[in-house]
Structure 1
Amino acid sequence: MHVLLVEDDKILSEGVAQMLREQGMLVDVAYNGEDACFIAELQKISVMILDIGLPDIDGFEVLRRLRTGKKNALPVLLLTARDAISDRVKGLELGADDYLVKPFSTLELVARIKALVRRSSTKSSEVKLGHLTLESLTKRASVDGQALELSVREWNILEYLLQQESRVVSKQQIIDAILEHGEDMTVNAIEVYISRIRLKLQNSKVMIRTIRGFGYMLEEEKVP
C-alpha cells in the first residue's frame, strides 16, 4: 500500500509517516501542494492523506487538480481542523473520499486508509500492462487471455510490482509489502520468485528489470 502524506508540519508528518511504515505501508511525504501534485502524477499512489492548510496552493486546489487530471480516481483522505465544518463540506464537494479531524487517533487513520483502499479496489480491480492482465478480486492473471499459473507468493509479488509500475523497489520493500505481520522471508527467496515470474511473463510484453544495487522495476517492453 503506497501512501502519499501531504502535510507541511514536519514534526507531525514525520511521526505519522513512521507510524504508517510500521504498519507495512510505503510512504512518501510532500510538504506543499505543488510537490504533492508532482509526486501523485509520477507515482502509483494507493491513497493520499491531504491537509487543507498548505504553504503554497492549499489542499482544495490540490484536490481540484486531481479530480480534473489523470489521477481522478485516487482516494483522498482530507485532514481538517476540529471546528472547520465548512472545510469538510467543501472538501467532500470537491471530491474528497473521507475526512479526519485533527488531532486524530493513529489507529483510526490506519483503519480509514485501509477502508479507502478496499473501496477503491472494488471499483477498479483489473489492471493491464502490455499483454498482461491482473484481476485483483479473483486473483487471476493472464497473458493475451491465457491464464498464468502463479503461486500465492508469485501473485503477491507480481501484483505489487505492477502497482509500482516503472518505479524501482528494493527486495526489502517487496518483502514488507507482501508479508503479513509475523511472517518471514529472505531476500534470496525474492530473487527466486522474481526468476520464476520472469519465465511466466514471456511473450507478455512486460519485463522485470534488475536495477543493480537498488532492486527491481516492472515496465512495458519498448517497441523498437
Structure 2
Amino acid sequence: MSERILVIEDEDAINDLICMNLEVAGYESQPFFDGKEAWEALAADHSYSCAVVDVMLPGLDGFALLPHLREYGIPVIFLTAKGDVNSKVRGLTAGAEDYIVKPFEMLELLVRIDKVLARRRPADARIRIRDVEIFPEERKVLKNGCEVYLKPMEFDCLMMFVRNRNKALTRSQLLSALWGVAFDGETRTVDAHVGRIRKKLGFQDVIRTIPRVGYRMEADAGTQEGGQDR
C-alpha cells in the first residue's frame, strides 16, 4: 500500500504539479486548497504519512493548521513564499519537520519528503525489487540473500531511483541532489555510478536509460516495500 501525502496549497497549478509528481514517485496524494477545509477533513481521515503545507492559506493558515496535524502524528513540511528568518524559525520551532521556500525544485521536495518518511519508518522496513532487498535504515543491500557492497554514493544513487520510481531523472538532477549544487563534475560521474549499480544488482532492465535525458527506474519491476505491494 502506498504512503499517503497530504498537499495543502491554494495555488491550483502548484498543488496539481506536486500531486502529479507524488503519484509518479509511487505515493498517493490528497489535495486541499483551503486550510479550514483540510482541518475539518482530518477528523474523518487522518491516515497520512506526511503533509506538504503552504503557510499563506485561506480559511486557516499553515501555522494555525500545524498543531492539528501534529495532533494526529502527521509530520509537516512547509512549502511557502514566506522566506524571512522569523517565519522559518516560527515554523521549525513550532514542530515542522522542514521548511522550503518557493520557488523550489520538485526533485528537492521529493527528496525532503523521503527523508522525513525515512525517519519515521520502522527499523525493519525494507524494499524488495525482484531478488534484491534494500534496508534503508541499515544502508544494506542483499541479492538472493547475500550482501552486496555498495559504496555510500552508489547506495544514495540507488535510493534516489527507488524513491522516484517511474520518474525520469536527468544526470544534472542526480549530480545536484547527490553531490550538491556546487559540485563541479561531469555527467559521466553519474553514468559510472549507475553502471556499477546495474552490474552489482543485475538491474540492467530495471534502471532504464532515457536517451539524451538520464535514467528511470521502472515501477513495474516487482517493487515491494515493507512486504507489501507498492
Preserved CA contact (<8 Å) 1:51 1:78: no
- The one-character-per-residue Cα deviations of 1:105-154 (angstroms, maximum 9, x if unpaired) are 46636983279755531332532222222222222111122111212221
User: What is the distance in 1 between the residues matched to 2:180 and 2:46?
Assistant: 33
- The residue number in structure 2 matching 1:175 is 175
Structure 1 residues without counterparts, runs of 5 or longer:
11-28
Q: Identity over aligned residues, as a percent?
A: 15
Aligned residue-pair number: 190
User: What is the distance in 1 between the residues matched to 2:66 and 2:152?
Assistant: 41
Classify the secondary structure of the residue corresponding to 1:30.
Answer: helix
- The one-character-per-residue Cα deviations of 1:42-91 (angstroms, maximum 9, x if unpaired) are 3246xx9x87527xx954478689845xxx42x21434569868644544
User: What is the distance in 2 between the residues matched to 1:8 and 1:104?
Assistant: 14
Preserved CA contact (<8 Å) 1:80 1:100: yes
Whichever residue aligns with residue 192 of structure 2, its letter is V
Note the C-alpha offset of 1:162: 1.0
Note the C-alpha offset of 1:184: 3.0
Note the C-alpha offset of 1:211: 1.5
User: What is the distance in 1 between the residues matched to 2:22 and 2:45?
Assistant: 8
User: What is the distance in 1 between the residues matched to 2:6 and 2:179?
Assistant: 21
Matched, 1:76 2:51: yes
Preserved CA contact (<8 Å) 2:56 2:80: yes
What is the Cα-based RMSD across aligned positions, in Å?
4.4
Structure 2 residues without counterparts, runs of 5 or longer:
100-111, 223-230
Preserved CA contact (<8 Å) 2:8 2:34: no
- The residue number in structure 2 matching 1:15 is none
Distance 1:205 1:101, change over 3 A: closer
